[in-house]
Amino acid sequence: MARDEIKTGYKLIGTRPNRPDGLDKVTGRARYGADFSLPGMLWAAVVRSPHAHARIKKIDMSKAMALAGVKAVITRADLPTGLTGEDLNLQDNTLAGDKALYDGHAVAAVAATSALVAQDAARLIEVEYEILPHVIDVDAAMAPQAPVIREGVADYSVPEGMHPNVSRYIEFGHGDVEAGFAAADIVREQTYKTEATHQGYIEPHACVGQMGEDGRGEMWVCTQGHWYIRRMCASVLGIEAANLRVTPSEIGGGFGGKTTIFMEPLALALSKKAGGRPVKLVMTRSEVLRATGPTASASMDVKLGMTSDGTITAGQIYFRMQGGAFPGMSPIGEALPCAFACYDIPALRHEAVEVIANRPKAAAYRAPGSPMAAFAVESLVDEMCRELKLDPIEVRLKNGARNGSKSSYGPVYNVIGLQETLEAAKAHPNYQIPLGPNQGRGVASGFWFNHGGETSVSLAVGEDGTATVSVGTPDIGGSRASLALMVAECLGIAYENVRVNIVETGALGVNEPTHGSRATFASGKAAVAAARQAIAEMCRRAAADWGIDPEAVEWKDGAAHPAGPNAGKFPPMTIGEIGAKMGSTGGPISGHHEVTAEGVGASFGTHVVDVEVDPETGRTTVLRYLVVQDAGTAIHPAYVEGQYQGGAAQGIGWALNEEYVYGPDGRLQNAAFLDYRIPVASDLPMIDTVIVEVPNPGHPYGVRGVGETGITPPLPAIAAAVAGATGARIRSLPLSPPKVLAAIKDARKG
Amino acid sequence: MTKIHVTTTVNGDPVEFLADPRETLLDALRNHLDLTGTKEGCGTGDCGACSVTVDGTLVCSCLMLAAEADGKAVETIEGMAGEELHPLQRKFIEHAALQCGFCTPGILVAAKALLERNPDPTDTEIRFWLAGNLCRCTGYDKIIRAVQDAAAEMRGAA
């Protein structure tokens, strides 16, 4: 789509109406995963390994089976064999095979007439383990003495001679890196580490599964993508996708973590074994933290060359990431292209390895890989700016990517808004506020590709001229509102006259999940195409009524009009009039569009944060926080701001508090919200936002997608601000008070 | 295990149910009384998604046994709106103070309890009062603004 097709002067786009599902969600009526029940339903509980790495020698279920009310117990022996590749990994993670691979790995599951009986029965299942040596840390997992967790995980990309725990290797680059370093005035190289963090959605995973002995089933589940649930459950259980109908509930947060399966096949397998009675399975918070996908932990070497005027001459990175006990789950493939995506640097070398460790199978987490990469690269850029006494925004403006730049990972950027975010940050009052003692300011930019993906949307015109839109992307933060705004804008009808429904797997073609910041972009693009199809049909109906050529009819303001004086003189025929008589003019009027959506526009952002560090305790307080990000077009600005603020808050948590803490026994020490501490209301200031709008030429209304970029800059921005406040540069997250205090003491020793 | 007969009042309605001695008030609300608006986010009193009031006191219903509700008056999110929404509910929608909405019932119940005690709170007072109610989506900014706006409206109406 040409850029000049992007109109401005919208009637509805850019306004802030109440979200259609707001009433249900403030009254407790909205039905989330655990809120669904069926007659005759059983409750399930899962037995999990208390060991990081152990051979399962024997599982004795006899006592559990003897307990009154127990209807089914399953182990790996109840699942089909012969799976390969990622299907096998999913099955291995659903229920352990010969070995438990992490603390919390599911070993058996039970269904009973009540939740309490199921929990009692789970305690009666006796598992005999042979404890094996384990490894947790990313660097330790690839050291020569590390225990081999699973044989044969390395794919074709892994060079010879690496440890068997290394599962993937990626390398790419361009330009003469050595010549670039030689041309620099200073060349600096540092190592940075980030710990694993969890998405931390407040709603634990929950589902109700029902499956008969014929292998036909249904599932109600909280998920970002119910077609993914269908495909993965079908693979793990050896059934056909068409025989599993999956209906998504409302979703209580996901952030990438609900794009895959963890325990859903267990509910179906238990149901089948219990004679087809539906089974509800709800995780506890401890299970969520121990056994659902956190993000990867990372260890990253970065080398940069810079001239004294701030020109970056060359860059080189070597990232090491672990994504749990299964290959393919760390985001090295995203972290590398994100690392230098904000810059136009003549010579770059990227290299990364993935290694497996005795941790839960990682899942996507908001801009997977980009926050870690930004922590490494943006931190070193900041260190060099401070050393050369250069303004960090000016250095980014000088080296930053712009329209037509060849990106660090290959493609040429079309129309992007990084420079605009930097200019807006520079001009914002927050960047001018004088700092007091023990205060520091940090700046960082961030990037996410955004995503199109498989998308199928239907739209139906009602007899009263309203429109019903069926989409397959669960509404995780206001997408019903943004989709309704776009469809109403396109049809020329009131926002309230469009209802957007999230429909089950039987109602549409395959849809990818709400991931990659794609719901408003891709479902929106398809919904607009469907609306245009319906408009074309309504123009045909009007043309037939008027006895003129359909090309002589145009659509505006919710009605068909003769296109000009030559078309004839007819009063406008509204969508309501066309809808009322559609039965006699040719039947139902609808639109449908399905596509693997292209035309994605990347979203860049720049954050400015001020902190104050208490020199006595090492505690960091965020004083003020500014998010500037390019939305393309903000369809519903309030929910765009919400994405910016929420992403920043998660990044602040990652920077300051959150981490997976393991004991020497390989057990997770902080599997509760008390100890895995996400930011609470009293931790944060107001989060200021500036929405930059550089429309994406690849979307009818210029949408880019806004969900993910915001989590990326906070990690390096806060570390930079803490360095400014204390003089101590900390290169590993989180910046917990003890770590900051120790760094202040070291810095004082000089 | 012998069950306990519990007689209580929920949102003004008299109710009775049989509770296992191990069941929490949250379990009873959700599974015996079909009041699923109150959510379980952690089960350990850390997230506040299960916030209700019992005889006017704000509690995490996951930390209270169902049997302890006997003879008490419990208020949940389902009882918050009358014929019209409570100003907090309306302001949460208007300010986009919810994204996924899962923490919202608990935050609304907690915020209502705050405004009953302190009709004119500072931002900091709201932040500390709600520090026991985790929200992972919003960064709290729009929640604080919605509570302030509702408080101002309620003061104006009083």
Element (H, E) at B16: strand B13-19
What pLDDT, on a 0 to 100 scale, did the predictor assign at position A7? Answer: 55
> Which of A29, A646, A683 is nearest residue B138 as measured by Cβ atoms?
A646
Q: Dump pLDDT digits (tens) for A142-156.
A: 999 999 999 899 999
pLDDT over 70 (residue A2): no
Taking CB atoms and an 8 Å cutoff, what residues of chain A touch B130? 680-682
Nearest CA in chain A to B48: A202
Residues 447..476 of A with a Cβ closer than 8 Å to B: which?
476
Element (H, E) at A640: helix A637-656
> B55 at the A interface (CB within 8 A)?
no
Which of A16, A645, A674 is nearest residue B44 as measured by Cβ atoms?
Answer: A674
Task: List, for residues A670-718, the tens digit of each pLDDT value.
Answer: 999 999 999 999 999 999 999 999 999 999 999 999 999 999 999 999 9
Using one digit for the tens of pLDDT, what is the confidence trace for A187-206?
Answer: 999 999 999 999 999 999 99
Q: Which residues contact A274 (CB under 8 A, 6 or more apart)?
A: A42, A71, A72, A111
A477 and B22: CB-CB below 8 Å? no
Rounded to whole angstroms, what are the CA distances from A170 to A320, A335, A689? 11, 11, 36
In chain A, the N- to C-terminal Cα span, in Å, equals 58
pLDDT at residue number A1:
35
Whether A68 has its CB under 8 Å from any CB of chain B: the answer is: no
Q: How far, in Å, CA of A264 to CA of A243, rounded? A: 15
Describe chain B by its helix, strand, coil percentages, rounded to 5: 40, 15, 40
Residue A3 has pLDDT above 60, yes or no: no
Predicted local distance difference test score (pLDDT) of residue A244: 98
Provide the mean pLDDT of chain A. 97
Question: What SS3 string covers A602-632?
Answer: CEEEEEEEEEEECCCCCCEEEEEEEEEEECC
Give the residue-averaged pLDDT of A600-619: 98
How close does chain B come to A605, measured CA to CA in Å?
A: 17
pLDDT above 70 covers what percent of chain A?
A: 99
Overall average pLDDT of the A57-79 stretch? 98
**Cβ contacts of A114 on chain B, cutoff 8 Å:** 20
B114 touches chain A (CB under 8 A): no
**pLDDT tens, position by position, B51-70:** 999 999 999 999 999 999 99
Cβ–Cβ below 8 Å for A673 and B105: no
**Which is more confidently placed, B157 or B16?**
B16
Whether A681 contacts chain B with CB within 8 A: yes
From CA A550, how far away is CA A48, in angstroms rounded? 65
Chain A to chain B Cβ contacts (< 8 Å): 185
CA A255, A256, A258 angle in degrees (round to 5)?
100
- Write down the mean pLDDT value for chain B: 97
Query: How far apart, in Å, are the Cα atoms of A575 and each of A462, A498, A529, A561, A581?
Result: 9, 12, 17, 11, 10
CB contact under 8 A, B42 and A252: no
Segment A436-472, tens digit of pLDDT: 999 999 999 999 999 999 999 999 999 999 999 999 9
A737-749 per-position pLDDT tens digit: 999 999 999 988 8
Q: Is B92 on the interface with A (CB under 8 A)?
A: yes
B157 pLDDT tier (thresholds 50, 70, 90): confident
**Residue A429 is which amino acid?**
P
Whether the predicted pLDDT of A246 surpasses 50? yes
Is B112 within 8 Å of chain A by CB? Answer: no
Tokens of A549: 């050529």
Compute how many other C-beta atoms are within 10 angstroms of the C-beta atom of residue A614: 15
Task: Give the model's pLDDT for residue A81.
Answer: 98
Q: What is the pLDDT of residue A748?
A: 85
Residue A4 has pLDDT above 50, yes or no: no
Three-state helix/strand/coil letters over A645-657:
HHHHHHHHHHHHC
Q: Which residues of B touch A200 (CB under 8 A)?
A: 136
A566 or B143: whose pLDDT is higher? B143
Say yes or no: B98 contacts chain A, CB-CB below 8 A.
yes
- pLDDT higher than threshold 80 for residue A240: yes
Specify the residue for token string 């006997």: B70
Tens-digit pLDDT profile for residues A307-326: 999 999 999 999 999 999 99
d(CA A704, CA A602): 6
Cβ contact A591:A534 at 8 Å: yes
pLDDT score of B1:
66
Any CB–CB contact under 8 A between B127 and chain A? yes
| Minimum-distance CB partner of A642 among B27, B103, B138 | B138
Q: Do the chains contact at B35 and A646, CB–CB below 8 Å? A: no
Residue A736: the pLDDT is 97
Q: Which pLDDT score is estimated for A693? A: 98
In terms of CA atoms, which chain A residue is nearest residue B30?
A35
Section A724-750 average pLDDT: 95
Looking at residues A353-365, what average pLDDT do you find? 98
Residue of B nearest to A474 (CA): B100
What sign results for the dihedral spanned by CA atoms A632, A633, A639, A641?
Answer: positive
Residues B29-50: pLDDT tens digits?
Answer: 999 999 999 999 999 999 999 9
Q: Could you tell me which chain B residue has the CA closest to the CA of A674?
A: B46
Torsion of CA A308, A309, A314, A315, to 10 degrees: 80
Residue-wise pLDDT for B105-124, tens only, equals 999 999 999 999 999 999 99
* A26 contact B CB<8A: yes
Cβ distance A27 to B38 less than 8 Å, yes or no, reads no
Q: What is the pLDDT of residue A749?
A: 84
Residue A750: pLDDT above 80?
A: no
- CB of B31 within 8 Å of a chain A CB? The answer is yes
**Banded model confidence at residue A6, pLDDT cuts 50, 70, 90:** low
